[in-house]
Structure 1
Amino acid sequence: MKRYLLKELTSMVTLKTISEKTGFSLSVVSRALNPCPDQRVAESTKRKIERAVQELNYRRNHTASLLARGKSTAIGVFLPYYPDSLLVDLVVGVTEKANECDFLCNFYFGMNSQDYVEFMGSVEEVGSSGILSYLPHVGFSSTELGRILQKYHQDGGRLLFMNSAEYPELGIQSLNIDNFSGGLLAAEHLFGRGCQDYICISPSSESWQSEQRRAGFFSFLEEKCVHPEIFYAESRSGYQNYLLQTIETMVSLNSSRKVGIFALSDYLAMDIAGMLIQRGLHAQIGQRFLIIGYDDLPACRHCIPALTTIRQPFRELGRRGIELLVGMITSTETGSKDMLQPELVIRESA
């Protein structure tokens, strides 16, 4: 009941309420709260009005100003169709923050350029004021899709990509998780555990994220004059056989040598653990063979042995992304563009 009454009282706060509390006219209050006022407002006046806004818990209604620009308070969100917990965390974070900011989100899920073109058609149809998105595909900027995004920006739409390089020529900014630091964390931990040999397992389909993870891993080890082996998971049987031969060669040189294995995804790490278990090496995982994955999927804690991995703050990525995008839409400076930091989760495998 209390929460209902609070919401009811909050919704009754208007510019007139702020005017009465501060003693300033409606026009002065309106200009002070307008990111692009037609007349300058004294800083002392603006500060007093902003204090009143906070005390009254007033929430700006952006609908009118957006409608004047031919836009709505809807945000188009395009995400890859991956059925895992990372996507769930991202959706939860986006939804939470959008609700706090009184913006609506229309979610679209797809895996290719055609899906994205259809998404852009829906964005135009509903007059979305902004787009929060994953990268459609590498090299998209020089395609028809790049021209569609550029036109959307020129027509007043705002774009923010997540975990991607920026495309200033298209008006696209980005907010990222620090994948380089994630790779560095993995290398630092394996080095601290006394590994003498190192292997990096990379997915066959290259991505901006995997490049950064690998770069961080190699950067730390090369400073220690260590040069890791790298394997690409292209052909399941082919790369696994070669990988096993390499591991066996490493340990045959010295039975006490430790091998540090960094897989750029949890799925790859689980594959490697499974291979070692099939060879009867289960007891040596975490002792002689140290394995670190990436993502901290729910299955990691239920593996035997449980998987050490790098956790990514996807929920916070969603919240921060909406905060930044709303700031871009409303011409207010909110949120930080600093990269979000991953976290090493230590379990039995390393």
Structure 2
Amino acid sequence: MSKSDVTLLAIANAAGVSQMTVSRALSNKPGVSRAKREEILRIAAEQGYVVNRTQQKSSSRRSHVIGLVTAELHNPFVSELVAGVGRAARTAGYELLVYSLVEPDQPPLPRVIKLMQQVIDGIIALLPYEHSYLEVLADARVPIITVDQYGRFVRFPSIAADSYAGACMAVRHLLGLGHKRIAFLTGDERLASAQDRHRAYLDTLTQAGIAIDPELVLAGNYSLSRGQSVVKSLLALKDRPTAVFAANDMSAIGVLAGLKEAGLRVPEEMSVIGFDDIPGAAQCHPALTTIRQPIQQMGRSAVNTLLALIAGLEAASPQIVLPTELVVRASTGVPRGG
């Protein structure tokens, strides 16, 4: 069964209860213990099940509009997640209102915050660099879910992929191929995901008995242009790396472009691995080895958790962390001479 096809039966099997019990729990009807209800909600959120609220009695005070606030829309990861949230919201009988912060480090204007309070039933905050406005909305009793920020804004339930475990997989993949000189392009270190990937790189090399070389850690900032420009710095090193792990696919694709410009073959002369598995990762040349985040499932889980809060229920879990997986393609291979 695909993640987009999660059913009451699948949740019932995972929880060890009947479909009727699952339906009662998701509809907030009596006859289900608090502990079992929370377990069912947790499983539903993790599997990406979306409750169709149009089949439930709705409050006349609800607008059936949820909001999504993001610092950027041009990022492919963000675009994929917004698309997943929009589809899940529509399935649940809700419309999606998207607001992009003009300045990522500045809150929305007061009139925008007031509009959110008046129009929307709840907020999904994606990559919130500046978050004071979330406190204002929360104080006004607007339910809030954050994405990719677990551990930072403890007041709000969060949905995230396991960046630490995924980054460990990436480095272990390169180590398993025989690479020892592995460069790392950091992400935007304001984000929990970037911090986790950086820490995983350091921890995995240390556990493998490989000393950390500061020259091999460069700022990538989740940027294609930055990924392309740092290639010159890596190639200028006396002891070049044989592989590059970039904290996201966009910077990894930038590295591929930079290596092509320099006349180096991938993976024969240098391996490259990214993180996210955005649509372009499989189409670039060579196809990019990467760590797949369940982006669509993250969107569905965010919507499902938010709708539970809107219905007056507690979040099934304050932190839902979804698994990542290694996707091996053509951009990684054994090092030359290895």
Q: TM-score, normalised by structure 1?
A: 0.69
Structure with the larger helix share: 1
CA distance in 2 between partners of 1:101 and 1:331 (Å): 16
Q: Is the 8 A contact 2:117 2:142 kept in 1?
A: no
**1:320 has 2:301 as partner:** yes
Look up the match of 2:167: 183
CA distance in 1 between partners of 2:328 and 2:244 (Å): 14
CA distance in 1 between partners of 2:254 and 2:113 (Å): 37
Question: In structure 1, what residue type is equivalent to 2:253?
Answer: M
Look up the match of 2:324: 342
**1:245 has 2:236 as partner:** yes
Matches within 5 A, 1:96-107: 96-107=87-98
The alpha carbon displacement at 1:185 in A equals 1.3
Matches within 5 A, 1:12-91: 35=28, 59-64=55-60, 67=61, 71-91=62-82
Look up the match of 2:142: 157
CA distance in 1 between partners of 2:282 and 2:80 (Å): 17
CA distance in 2 between partners of 1:328 and 1:287 (Å): 51
**1:93 has 2:81 as partner:** no
CA distance in 1 between partners of 2:174 and 2:324 (Å): 17
**1:266 has 2:253 as partner:** no
CA distance in 1 between partners of 2:142 and 2:289 (Å): 42
Q: Is the 8 A contact 1:78 1:116 kept in 2?
A: no
**1:121 has 2:114 as partner:** yes
Structure-2 change in CA distance of 1:117 and 1:317 (3 Å): farther
CA distance in 2 between partners of 1:91 and 1:156 (Å): 24
Look up the match of 1:7: none
Question: In structure 2, what residue type is equivalent to 1:281?
Answer: L
The farther-off stretch of 205-214 and 116-125 is 116-125
CA distance in 1 between partners of 2:89 and 2:251 (Å): 34
Look up the match of 1:225: 209
Q: Secondary structure at the match of 1:294?
A: coil
CA distance in 1 between partners of 2:67 and 2:229 (Å): 42
CA distance in 1 between partners of 2:194 and 2:250 (Å): 14
Write the deviation string for residues 35-91 of structure 1: whole angstroms up to 9, x where unpaired: 5x9xxx6669xx9xxxxxxxxx99212224xx2xxx533212112333244333222
Look up the match of 1:195: 179
1:216 to 185, 197, 200: 200
Q: Secondary structure at the match of 2:239?
A: helix
Q: Is the 8 A contact 1:199 1:260 kept in 2?
A: yes
The alpha carbon displacement at 1:166 in A equals 4.7
CA distance in 1 between partners of 2:80 and 2:296 (Å): 5
Q: Secondary structure at the match of 2:282?
A: helix
Structure-2 change in CA distance of 1:97 and 1:342 (3 Å): same
Q: How many residues align?
A: 281
2:285 to 301, 304, 319: 304
Q: Secondary structure at the match of 1:190?
A: helix
Percent identity of the aligned residues? 24
Question: In structure 2, what residue type is equivalent to 1:348?
Answer: A
Write the deviation string for residues 12-38 of structure 1: whole angstroms up to 9, x where unpaired: xxxxxxxxxxxxxxxxxxxx9985x9x
Q: TM-score, normalised by structure 2?
A: 0.71
Look up the match of 1:20: none
Write the deviation string for residues 135-173 of structure 1: whole angstroms up to 9, x where unpaired: 4325x4xxxxx2x4334323322111100145667x422
Look up the match of 1:6: none
Q: Is the 8 A contact 1:78 1:119 kept in 2?
A: no
The alpha carbon displacement at 1:295 in A equals 2.3
Look up the match of 2:17: none
Look up the match of 1:22: none
Question: In structure 1, what residue type is equivalent to 2:276?
Answer: D
Q: Is the 8 A contact 1:197 1:259 kept in 2?
A: yes
Q: Secondary structure at the match of 2:144?
A: strand
Q: Is the 8 A contact 2:292 2:327 kept in 1?
A: yes
Unaligned runs of 5+ in 1: 1-31, 48-56, 141-145, 252-257
The alpha carbon displacement at 1:328 in A equals 1.3
CA distance in 2 between partners of 1:274 and 1:101 (Å): 42
The alpha carbon displacement at 1:123 in A equals 0.6
CA distance in 1 between partners of 2:305 and 2:70 (Å): 17
Q: Secondary structure at the match of 1:72?
A: coil
Unaligned runs of 5+ in 2: 1-24, 37-52, 333-338
The alpha carbon displacement at 1:117 in A equals 4.8
